Structure 1
């Protein structure tokens, strides 16, 4: 036999041996398991909402235990979570805690039990059902959960109920899948092309599930909206030398309600039944200038009546209870002395500033209780010391340049400063954001030589700072443009302020032509 034939024979033998070894072990294991071990049914573990059920077997000779016959958790077999709403074109609804408006998916728990989503999958791709996998998150009975679709952007939240999925949605329409940890799809929704702030919403009609395009209703029961046009005012915000009659109009079959105290109107407000006399409001009692707990120092209140504007806020309702947007106007009657300067009327729900729980201008209930000795330990945070989007409040801003209305826009306000937050007269940061009115910039420039800003400062008056910056504005140094103004808050004279540029990524783009992608998110 030649060498080549011998090599071939050895290879065949090696292959046969390599196959016999695992077969021998398999047969041996089966023989010894069945002959030496004698398994008997030992215990049945029933499935729970979160855990698999299974059967335990125990060897009567050695006590060895094995398990099989896995049964899905009961929550997988019962009515489960559904995809309730998808918003693939979010312009201004439900901003996250940083003020960003991402597209979102809303889940709903229609059952009478709390359901844990640990291991569930959410995806926009059927071939990859676990693009996003839920952690230990629960949805209470008849509860909602919103998941923001942000893509590859890594975002974290201190609120465990705010979730960011690692895929994005398209406004052109696509399918979304909700999957059990087992890989079984329990709900799917295919939404069509959507426009700004529209969502594809789930409804149950005559025990059948149907989907409709509606205005987004995150964290609320889905409902169809009827557009109601807002009331039309016969006079615009501005300065008037003499009293006049104001007329409000709305669509037929609607009713108008309005307020005179800066609160947001609703059906419990004054019903409009005829023209409103608008006159000098200065003789009215001081209200907001008399608010207490706005400083840690000795409080000072005006001894005389301060100048006042008439603030009228109106809303329209149709016969089915659908409402329009709120319209806010500021009227300065008999206050011509302010016509030669800049005036800003800041109007917001008074509770946004002065409520002990959510008011950003006051000490807050926790601090007051600590002051009174009802709470022990270190002093709690003063409300006006809080920062970030969660302490931003909506406001209607009307800006008059020498008596001419040049800006009327819904913006966001926050308290600004360090030690100056403790003063009775506080400064504000002011922000344009899409979710207030669809614009992320002011509708007009504040300074002729600059473009439309995204934010600015209302600084409690410090003429020295603006003056000193103006002295070096022609040097190679960064300065903020400023102009003086008079501020009215909720119709009452608040004091002398400065409109000041705000240092931000937009400021760097504007002045130094640096692309904002170079910097962290504002």
Structure 2
């Protein structure tokens, strides 16, 4: 009995050990600050941990543990967790604690992104640490950390001209895709395998691989088996099947299907391809297909069911290759990955991130020259900068080697970099000298003299009479006028927009010479700085910029174009987080409209010089707000393009679905938004309910019942949950009073309507005044309404 127990124990030990040999897991990568990367099944950007089976074999992590606490090595335990075909398991560090056999894996803790964190994988005994990161470095948003092994090299397991076995089947053949199948009776040839009645495919067919006599007129299918050997699976990843093929195929690796093209859903021994691949140049070109398959150490078999379009087709070709990446695992090194890669081979390892550039002087207004120093805390890093608005890089820009003298309005953009470190983002600083801005030239160096055939306008008015009047007093001396203008430039918020000048003024790609361009294809990347002359907080972010408007896009009408800023993740921050519209406005924006109010400004003063009001549109919006209705907020700001003064603008919100979410509540996806004018269109949600309201209005609202119905009410005025609320009548009344009073020339032709689709909460469509820059009689006292 004692002998039997010892025997059973020995067998059990050998079985367990044989399973453990295949499992050599390490934590190969983790992301401790996931903002916009891999999402879990709940749609959350949870942190994650990647575990790699270095041995490359099959295996399971059941019984292993993960922990972020060296005093609690069994903090979270794996249930059944097999490695994928590439040898990886990914666990979300979300705190959600899920490890059931059908669950997406979630640890019961979240990762620490601060310096000095701990993370470990512990063997099932709860004592032995299989892999750990002690006191790891500070982690950065969307940048992962882990083990890197240098650049992986490409290896080719199977190439054109390798030995193969083939047969044109005369009936079903069981198990022919597996590694143990006996193919000794099949014909021998070298890949590729196929035939051609002309000469096109002949150079791509190997010795013994011509099937013309065996296949044409007999069967549209051929079976091909290509063996290859792998002695060591460690470090293997990124398997690629490369194929020349016509007209279709199904590929199997060691009996498992890995790829098919133009193949029927249930292939038989005599199946045909579902499509005829008529482009013969494509057929003799290798196409790469990333695959995931059960590689084994030793003998592997790639089995291919080749498919022709018909058994009488004039040609046929199957020529496979298999490549992969092999990583040298002998010298692992920890570091950061700029491109996280959960579940696949880690990318390029970097030693760290270069610390941000620091400027010795803050952006803002200056009246005397100074020396500017740029620095970074990263030892050994270099700095490059530009002065023309373009973005510097590791190979572009002026190499910084000492203080820069700033004695005029200057836009400077800088980057710091170091070998094998991620460089900084581009920092942008604008230094404004208002007294020099006041006499800005019309011929800036390097800028075009015309925009789409219209004379460019960069400079301040150089007529002495107009200059003094613009300064506020026709009796001013030129010196006093210059000082007055310089002071006024500091009196309100400044917005400095900086970008490569070609983005603005290039004849082909510039948005200014092509003002009719619409949509994202006519959006250009810019830096946006908010500068306050009153000592308030300054701000910088990146954005996209477009031209906006309808008639105001015409350069012949005005050279002061309306613009729109769009804040997106592709440029940097997904929102502008700055209270641009004051303490009563929102703290963040997806977009800002920069209205030039060109029909109410110096460029089109209908009643002569000095008659522009500048405030017509903003007055209309603020009046709507003062009437107790939701309304678009705006302000005024001086705008600069690449350091050149561009004029007084009216930054405003745009009444879209983001605006509705901010001011009306709920989610942006719960709103219908319709824009009227130029052209009328739905910009969010659906136009269906608006059309329903429009139909009701056109049918007439003369009866009490129809009037109540559009408000979702019964004839007696009680709410009826069966009736959709279509219209906020009080809002429409106030909107109409406002419009009749300001008497915008084309009112009510340009406006927005917004409706909350959540029944029980919605007030119906609400009207938002927009684009009223020819209001109040265009400053004509004989036409305008009297206050």
Contact 2:244/2:283 (8 A) holds in 1 = yes
1:402 CA drift (Å): 4.0
Deviation of the 1:323 alpha carbon: 3.2
**Cα distance, 1:391 vs structure 2:** 2.2
Distance (whole Å) between structure 2 residues aligned to residue 116 and residue 495 of structure 1: 64
Q: 2:375 aligns with which of 224, 241, 249?
A: 249
Q: Does 2:608 match 1:457?
A: no
Q: Within the alignment, does 1:445 sit opposite 2:545 as a pair?
A: no
Q: Give CA-to-partner distance per residue, 1:18-46, whole Å, 9 cap, x none.
A: xxxxxxxxxxxxxxxxxxxxxxxxxx745
- Residue by residue over 1:27-73, the C-alpha shift from the partner in whole angstroms, topping out at 9 and shown as x without a partner, is xxxxxxxxxxxxxxxxx745979xx9976789xxxxx9542542579
Deviation at 1:478, TM superposition (A): 5.2
Measure how far apart 1:359 and its partner are: 1.8
* Residue matched to 2:427: 327
**1:519–1:349 distance in 2 versus 1, CA, 3 Å:** same
> Aligned-residue CA RMSD in angstroms?
5.3
Give the secondary structure class of the aligned counterpart of 1:473. Answer: helix
**Other-structure match for 1:277:** 405
Q: Distance in 2 between matches of 1:473 and 1:497?
A: 20
Whole-angstrom CA distance in 1 between matches of 2:355 and 2:288: 30
Matched residue pairs, number? 343
Q: Distance in 1 between matches of 2:495 and 2:516?
A: 24
Are the equivalent residues in 1 in contact too, given 2:364–2:532 (CA < 8 A)? no
Q: Does 1:258 align with 2:385?
A: yes
Pairs within 5 Å for 1:111-510: 214-216=337-339, 223-226=348-351, 227-250=353-376, 251-266=378-393, 267-279=395-407, 281=408, 309-319=409-419, 323-335=423-435, 337=487, 338-362=489-513, 383-403=514-534, 404-423=536-555, 424-437=559-572, 439-447=573-581, 448-451=583-586, 452-461=588-597, 462=600, 463=614, 464-475=616-627, 479-510=631-662
Hey, what's the Cα distance between the residues in 2 that align with 1:53 and 1:419?
Answer: 69
Does the Cα contact within 8 Å between 2:562 and 2:596 map onto a contact in 1? yes
**Contact 2:365 2:432 (8 Å CA) reproduced:** yes
C-alpha contact 1:262 1:312 (8 A) present in aligned 2: yes
Maintained 8 Å contact 1:237/1:405 = no
Q: 1:421 to 1:334 in 2, by over 3 A?
A: closer
Structure 1 residues 115, 343: CA separation in 2 closer, same or farther (over 3 Å shift)?
farther
CA, structure 1 residues 224+355, in 2 after alignment: closer, same or farther (shift >3 Å)?
farther
Give SS of 2:510's match. Answer: coil
**Relative to 1, partners in 2 of residues 1:232 and 1:204: Cα closer, same or farther, differing over 3 Å?**
farther
Distance of aligned partners of 1:206 and 1:411 in 2 relative to their CA distance in 1, 3 Å threshold:
same
Contact 1:234 1:246 in 2 (8 A): yes
Tell me: CA distance 1:223–1:349, structure 2 relative to 1, closer, same or farther (3 Å). farther
Alpha-carbon spacing, 1:55–1:115, altered in 2? closer, same or farther (3 Å)? closer
Higher relative contact order (CA 8 A, sep 6+): 1
Structure-2 change in CA distance of 1:65 and 1:430 (3 Å): same
Q: Given the superposition, is the C-alpha separation of residues 474 and 321 from structure 1 closer, same or farther in structure 2, using an over 3 Å criterion?
A: closer
Q: What stretches of structure 1 of length at least 5 have no aligned partner? A: 1-43, 59-63, 78-85, 87-106, 148-174, 189-201, 282-308, 363-382
- SS where residue 479 of structure 1 aligns? coil
Distance change >3 Å, CA 346–CA 252, structure 1 → 2: same
Q: 1: distance between equivalents of 2:632 and 2:288?
A: 45
Note the alpha carbon deviations across 1:213-233, whole angstroms, 9 max, x for none.
Answer: 732399xx9644442223211
**Structure 1 Cα separation of the partners of residues 623 and 657 of structure 2:** 24
Name the stretch that deviates more: 468-477 or 268-277: 468-477
Structure 2 counterparts to residues 65-104 of structure 1, below 5 A: 65-70=217-222
Tell me the CA shift for residue 117 of structure 1.
12
Secondary structure, aligned partner of 2:635 = strand
Query: Per-residue deviation at 1:494?
Result: 0.8
Matched residues in 1 for 2:618 and 2:434: separation?
A: 30
Judged with a 3 Å threshold, the aligned counterparts in structure 2 of structure 1 residues 261 and 177 are, in CA distance, closer, same or farther, namely farther
CA distances 1:284-340 after superposition (whole Å, capped 9, x unpaired): xxxxxxxxxxxxxxxxxxxxxxxxx31111112325686332111011235552221
Deviation per residue, 1:132-156 (Å, 9 max, x gap):
x9x99999999999x9xxxxxxxxx
SS at match of 1:483: coil
Change in CA separation of 1:326 and 1:68 when aligned onto 2, cut-off 3 Å: closer
Larger radius of gyration: 2
Q: What is the distance in 1 between the residues matched to 2:336 and 2:284?
A: 26
CA positional deviation for 1:108:
11
Q: Which runs of 5+ in 2 are unaligned?
A: 1-193, 229-236, 264-274, 295-301, 307-319, 436-485, 601-613, 673-682, 685-787
Distance 1:318 1:515, change over 3 A: closer
Counterpart Cα distance in 1 of 2:528 and 2:662 = 23
